[in-house]
Structure 1
């Protein structure tokens, strides 16, 4: 097992799990937040590319190829479908469907890359899914269109995981910049300047740089070094971590079900890491 990949993916999950904090702090409509967050995130990713490769990094956009453009398309669609699903169905349904990403990534990786996931990874994924279900509950209050959007988001996430694994030489950072530009710009007609104060701009800049730039950069370099099911499983940690930060900052006490389900998810990932770490690294 590649321990460096696990650290990178864990860092990405920590960065992404701050979304609840920023969403709670920014009193603006969703399209406006997506627009500003995305553009700040894209700027941060571009600076990262230039710091790593200098002006030569700009040539990566010309080397995207079909895989890179497809990655950018799926990444942007995943973000838009995720936000749309939160508006169109219950958060409970979105959380549970998101927890199926390890299974979707494992199935797609098996079909495309012929990488058979280990029994431990699949068992830990099932345990994490059960924990997510306990956290949010399983009810019939969702709406079909929102649930379908959440399924689309999960499929997009699984797809970019497999693309990154299949094409490690692909300039994924450049592809991430493209996705971080086109998806927010799609929200431009629906965004508003009402309430866009310097304080809110600063919060949206932090949202873009911490949650988008840092998270996506770490994910890019971690996902190309880990099996799809492992990448998806590490991402499952976002489900319990997001409400944890909100609890710590805003003193919103989580329910017993949230605590129990979150503990189950974290135990599943911890068990997987401890078990797989005994396997000699190649």
Structure 2
């Protein structure tokens, strides 16, 4: 994009970084529940794997289109496509069609805990890509806290999961699919940021999520022979309908807007993405509240380590020189 390219008027989350970081955290909390909701859908219906992605992004993307059309200044959805569609639409295929196909497909092979853990490697990819693409330095604090948080995430899978993984080829495939999702998602988040600055978070979320969902529908239909009929939604059980609508409207429409828009607004996208390390901790809390699953000692230790590392990185600039040397 040229230097003369106009940007959207700055919103609250651009003028007040704490609002942007809060939006990112709320988005992370939404992502933390998506694995549970997807499992409810697969348990209640014959819908599973890539088909769940289709329901999620066709309906959730449509929800974003409706929100954009209701939002002043974001209604012209054709403008970004006319001006930069050759760049934006490939990112939709990468960050929506590709990433979330791998995400929901991985849940057919790996456990919720394994998938949640592997997807949480995304902040590491974002930091490295931000260094390579935008030349934003990856400070020592980010490297140390990132590795520490990743070690904390690893503690979550050492609680009996690694032993099963070592002898389970299907689980290994699921883990690799989830890691591929994290990589594609990270590339999307880095490359889409300037277009959000130019056109606005709501509009870019709509013109990437909905076309990405349509492409996903085509891909699943052609590759799997499963042509999803979203109009059959209300023929499903009541619990399945509620779960699909929650996954589409909450985990996608609202969550993606807050998460992607917040990450584009934060001053430091790597720091903002480090909040994603909290995803397994939030997932464990949700499991305790809604499923009555009490965390083990290892899981509690992991949550403490992850939270401490994220807090350390966020507060590093405010620490005095003596504390940093210590």
Deviation at 1:224, TM superposition (A): 1.4
Structure 1 segments of 4+ aligned residues over 6 angstroms from their partners = 192-195
Give the equivalent residue in structure 2 for 1:3: 18
> When the two structures are superposed, what TM-score results if normalisation uses the length of structure 2?
0.75
How many residue pairs get matched?
Answer: 279
Deviation at 1:199, TM superposition (A): 4.0
1:224 aligns with 2:264: yes
Sort the Cα spacing of 1:183 and 1:277 in 2 relative to 1 into closer, same or farther, 3 A. Answer: farther
Selected match of 2:301 from 260, 270, 276: 260
User: Unaligned stretches of 5+ in structure 2?
Assistant: 1-15, 321-326
Matches of residues 107-126 of structure 1 in structure 2 within 5 Å?
107-126=128-147
- Bigger radius of gyration among the two: 2
- The DSSP-based 3-state class of the residue aligned with 1:115 is coil
C-alpha contact (below 8 Å) 1:64/1:175 kept by paired residues: no
Deviation at 1:161, TM superposition (A): 1.8
Give the equivalent residue in structure 2 for 1:169: 198
Give the equivalent residue in structure 1 for 2:315: 274
C-alpha contact (below 8 Å) 1:136/1:257 kept by paired residues: no
Give the equivalent residue in structure 2 for 1:60: 80
Selected match of 2:54 from 28, 35, 46: 35
Deviations 1:60-85 (A, max 9, x none): 33334333112201122111111222
- Whole-angstrom distance in 2 between the partners of 1:241 and 1:184: 30
Deviations 1:110-133 (A, max 9, x none): 111111122222222112111110
Selected match of 1:187 from 220, 224, 232: 220
- Whole-angstrom distance in 2 between the partners of 1:23 and 1:150: 14
> When the two structures are superposed, what TM-score results if normalisation uses the length of structure 1?
0.86
Give the equivalent residue in structure 2 for 1:153: 181
Deviations 1:132-160 (A, max 9, x none): 10011144245354343223212101101
- Whole-angstrom distance in 2 between the partners of 1:219 and 1:276: 24
Give the equivalent residue in structure 2 for 1:99: 120
- Whole-angstrom distance in 1 between the partners of 2:178 and 2:74: 38
Greater shift in the superposed pair: 256-265 or 186-195: 186-195
- Whole-angstrom distance in 2 between the partners of 1:119 and 1:5: 24
Sort the Cα spacing of 1:114 and 1:269 in 2 relative to 1 into closer, same or farther, 3 A. Answer: same
Deviation at 1:185, TM superposition (A): 4.8
User: Unaligned stretches of 5+ in structure 1?
Assistant: none
Give the equivalent residue in structure 2 for 1:87: 108
Greater RCO structure (CA 8 Å; 6+ sep): 1
